[in-house]
Amino acid sequence: MGNTAKISCRGLWKVFGPDPRGFLRQHGHTPGPGDYAATKHVGAVQDVSFDVLEGEILVIMGLSGSGKSTLIRCLTRLIEPTEGQLEFENRDLLQLSKREHIDLRRKKLGMVFQHFGLLPHRTTLENVAFPLEIQGVPQEERNACARKYLTLVGLDGKEDFYPRELSGGQKQRVGIARSLTTDPEIWFLDEPFSALDPLIRRELQDEFLKLQQSLRKTIIFITHDFSEALRLADRIAIMRDGRIVQLDTPEMIVARPADSYVAKFGADAPKEDVLSAGAIADPNLPDVLPAQHVRASQKLSEIIPQMLTDGESRVVLNRDNLPAGVLTKERLLSAVFRGN
C-alpha cells in the first residue's frame, strides 16, 4: 500500500428531498435532525471527506441506513451527489459530463454488487467478456482476456455454463472476473459476499485476498459484517447517520474506538488476533527495562501463552529495534478480556 491518494473525497453530500441544494444553503451546510424532518429532506451522506490510498483496501461499514451503500453509489455516480468534490487523476469526477464519466467507468472503474447482475442468456465466458464487447474489443481478444480472469477466480471448465447452472458462489466469481476484464484502477465492491452461505463467503474472502496480493488494486469495499472488515481491510471507515464516525486501521478501531457506537462493533471481535503489542503497550518506559522483548507488530495471540506462563513483562521494540513501551501481564489481560 502506498502513501499516495488514489481517490480523494471532500465535503460530499447526498440529500434527498424537494430542494436538496437549497436546503443545504438555507442551513449553512450544517442542518440538524429537526431541519431534515421539518422540510421532508433526508441526509443520506453528510459532509463526508476521506482519501483512498493507492493499493489499499478501504472497507466502509455501518448499520443498515448508515449511508454506506449510498456513499459508494455517489462515488461511482450511479446516483448524483448533491454537493462535494471527488478527485481522481487530478480531475473532479463530479464535473465530468455524463458521457465522460461513463467512459471512465468502463475503462478505469470496476464494480461488483451483492446481486450478481449476470445476463441469463449468455454463457459464463460471454458474461465475463461483456464489458470488452461494449468497448468494441475483437471477439478473440476479449475471450482470451475473459478466460484469463476465469482461471484467476477458479472457474476453469465453466466457460460454457449459463448462470442458471452455477451456484451462488460461482456466480459471484463470474461477477468478480467480469469487473476485472477492463483492468480497473479502482475497484468498488458493495456487499459482494453477503448473500452467500458462511462457508462459501469465507472461501471467497480468502480468494479475494489472494487476488489482491497479485493485482494490488485500490479497493473500496462495503460491508455490514465487522468480522469481514477485520479480515479484509487495510483501513475501516465506520458510518452512522450519513457521516464517517471513525476511519482507522482495524487494530485502532478495536483498540481505541472513537465512541460507544464504534466500540459496539468491536465488542465481540477476537482481540488477541487483531491487536498487536505496540497498540496496547505502556509508552512510559521505566528506568530498568524488562529482560525479555516482543516486537511491536506481534499479535497478542502470539504473545499470550508465554506471558501467562511466566508472568513477566516485556519491552516492546519498534521497527528500528528501539524500546517503544512496556507490555505487562495486566495490560495484556485487560486488552483481551475487558477492552483496552
| Per-residue pLDDT tens over the stretch 261-278 | 999 998 888 888 899 999
pLDDT tens per residue, range 5-57: 999 999 999 999 999 999 999 999 999 989 998 999 999 999 999 999 999 99
- CATH number of domain containing 302: 3.90.1280.20
109 in a domain, yes or no?
no
Q: CA dist 313 to 84, 287, 334, Å? A: 50, 14, 14
Instruction: Give the angle subtended at the CA of 204 by the CAs of 202 and 210, to the nearest 5°.
Output: 110
Same domain, 215 and 252: no
Q: Which amino acid is at 320?
A: D
Any idea what DSSP says for residue 314?
E
Secondary structure element (H or E) that encloses residue 108, with its range: helix 98-108
Q: Please report how many Cα atoms fall inside a 13 Å half-sphere around the Cα of residue 12, on the Cβ side.
A: 31
> What is the tally of structural domains in the chain?
3
- Tell me, yes or no, whether 100 lies in a domain: no
Say yes or no: 145 and 193 in one domain: yes
**Could you tell me the CATH number of the domain that includes residue 74?**
3.40.50.300
Amino acid (one-letter) located at 79:
I
CB atoms inside a 10 Å sphere around CB 267: 12
**In terms of domains, do 190 and 217 share one?**
yes
pLDDT band of residue 82 (cuts 50, 70, 90) is very high
Query: What is each CA distance from 178 to 54, 74, 184, in whole angstroms?
Result: 22, 22, 11
Q: Are 259 and 323 part of one and the same domain?
A: no
Q: Provide CB contacts within 8 A for 66, sequence distance 6+.
A: 239, 240, 241, 242
For residue 246, is it within any domain?
yes
Expressed as residue numbers, the domain containing 50 is: 1-95+234-269
User: 196-207 b/e with 16+ CB inside 10 Å = b?
Assistant: beeebbeebbeb
In-domain check, residue 101: no
In a domain, residue 106? The reply is no
Closest to 257 in 3D by CA, of 187, 193, 335, 340: 340
**Domain match, 244 and 331 both:** no
Share of the chain above pLDDT 90, in %: 64
Does the residue 83 lie in any domain?
Answer: yes
pTM of the model: 0.86
